[in-house]
Amino acid sequence: MGEISCSTEPINGVLSRSSSSPPPSGYRKSCWYEEEIEENLRWCFALNSILHTGSTQYQEIALFDTKPFGKALVIDGKLQSAEVDEFIYHECLVHPPLLNHPNPKTVFIMGGGEGSTAREILKHTTVDKVVMCDIDEEVVEFCKEYLVVNTVAFNDPRLDVIINDARAELEKRKEEKFDVIVGDLADPIEGGPCYKLYTKSFYESTVKPRLRQGGIFVTQAGPAGIFSHAEVYACIYNTLRQVFKYVVPYAAHIPSYADTWGWVMASDSPLELSCEEMDLRIKQRVEGENKYLDGTTFSSVSTLNKVVRNSLFNETHVYTEGAARFIYGHGKNEL
């Protein structure tokens, strides 16, 4: 769904027009990446350069050097991560479940090929072992080569990188349990490789049995804006409510996504960490300093606005393979 176009535009930015000829005096040449967010809504930004484009068995992949957001990883035409603000997404995904757990030692990442989720988990001094299971070896190798910010994480001896389908890998590890399981999967899109890993049956029969007593599951859950939360966020939340006793939805604005993004944390043990206790655990357990997340911030992002809160409360749809919901877009393997 992503497109690259070049145009000439005036220096003052008032007008732009397509052109393949050299720009006239007072104009500059720009290349733009454009992503179709909805049928009638597109989001675009200027590029410094195209670093890589390619295709794997499962996905289309590209890395751009963008003017507003630095290096940006794009998979199946959807922006996955941008250099300047990926810390918002990854800190929100990782730190709330690990900090709510009294002593997280083992963590399983579903997906996470970029390496940023592992990077944040490995900041926790309690963690002894991280299994990162991504289905696409080419994406993992690509990110190792190009995303140098995660080099230290990929070389950490506590990290075990497995190339496999996350469901198959978890089902294979019948005797192994984890303190935290993290769903850092691509969005559920038609033709994409991941939508079956958002279903009630998967959470019930595969994820939950692999959690230790007191274990916590967290997943990224798609756009969570005023309008966009109805795509998948609300039903992922409701689906997890059918499986776990305690479920906490939260959301934060991510500039490069042009939207608010959502996560859902779930457990059969209470998730009631106070701001003060979260800050204390960050100080005691986390190496370095978080850029975004602390106790006060989590209190804010877990206080959803009235529209989204009411929608989640009233959601009845349960995510199944036969009744899946998708965000706008299409995967490589859609028939």
The residues that are catalytic are 184
Backbone angles phi, psi at 211, to 5 degrees: -95, 135
Q: At what angle do helices 86-100 and 275-285 cross, to 10 degrees?
A: 100
Instruction: Give 120's contacts (C-beta < 8 A, 6+ positions apart).
Output: 90, 91, 93, 94, 95
Return the ∠ at Cα 184 (arms to 224 and 327), rounded to 5°.
40
CB 92 within 8 A of CB 263: yes
Instruction: Give 240's contacts (C-beta < 8 A, 6+ positions apart).
Output: 203, 217, 219, 247, 264, 266
How many CA atoms lie less than 13 Å away from 69 in the CB half-sphere? 24
Q: Identify the residue whose tokens are 């009630």.
A: 200
Instruction: Give 155's contacts (C-beta < 8 A, 6+ positions apart).
Output: none
Give the other-Cβ count within 10 Å of 177's Cβ. Answer: 15
